[in-house]
Amino acid sequence: MLRAFHNTARLIQRSRSTETPTVLVFGGLPDDVSVSSRLDRDEATDQNYELLQIEDSKGPKVQTQGQLPTAIDEGKIYYRTPGGTAKMVTKDLINKLWDAKYGTLMERTSDLDWSRNCADYATGPIAAAVHKGDIKATKKYLSENYDLVGSLDLPDKDKFTVLLRDLEVGEYVATGASHFVKLEVNTKGSRITVTEKDGESGIYRASGAPEVAASVLCLSFQFSCEFYKKRT
């Protein structure tokens, strides 16, 4: 069974009979990504791409999240453009999608990683062993091991900046409905490091003034957001 990953361009395996190709949906491209940044400039007419595994006798069906990277490496995963053309999915292509969302403000510091999601990364491996990346379990873990120090009803750069300037030095997790972002306040009021993983994406990093972190968080969250400080 696949884990539920929160991201804006995730690969989701749908259940199909053994007679039908495994169908994967590549959905929800970020609204602010221009057509030229998408998979196919000439054919990207909407925000949903259908991915399908081209089945043959040389490889098994993709049944688990762990098999997906190998299938991509072996050139067995394709996406169908709105015009109906089947084209191969590559790791570079998926990296480019995430770079289009985060790359203007953040630096990608690692390659794709299907083994953990945003919750696993934001809280660290010890916590991840407890909550296993599940959204509800992660929020329960935060409530029991972190202190809630602030929240916003809607993302707003100025309000984020004010909140971030007041945070004490330490480690934090910002969380929305189903996404988690790691923050470290290096110097109160002047330097914050934000590191983020989104679904299968690599890790993205930005460090600077609270205004920089605020801009990143506006990319990360669309609705309400809470800030938790790790207890020491």
Tell me the average pLDDT of the chain. 75
Q: What separation in angstroms does the CA of 63 have from each of 6, 18, 44, 69?
A: 19, 11, 28, 12
DSSP characters for 177-232?
Answer: SS-EEEEEEEETTTEEEEEEE-TT--EEEEEESHHHHHHHHHHH-SS-EEEEEEP-
Domains of the chain, first to last: 11-102 (no CATH), 118-230 (3.90.70)
pTM value is: 0.76
The predicted-structure confidence for 33-44, as pLDDT tens digits, reads as follows 222 223 333 333
pLDDT per position as a tens digit, 43-83? 333 334 445 544 433 344 555 566 677 777 877 776 665 56
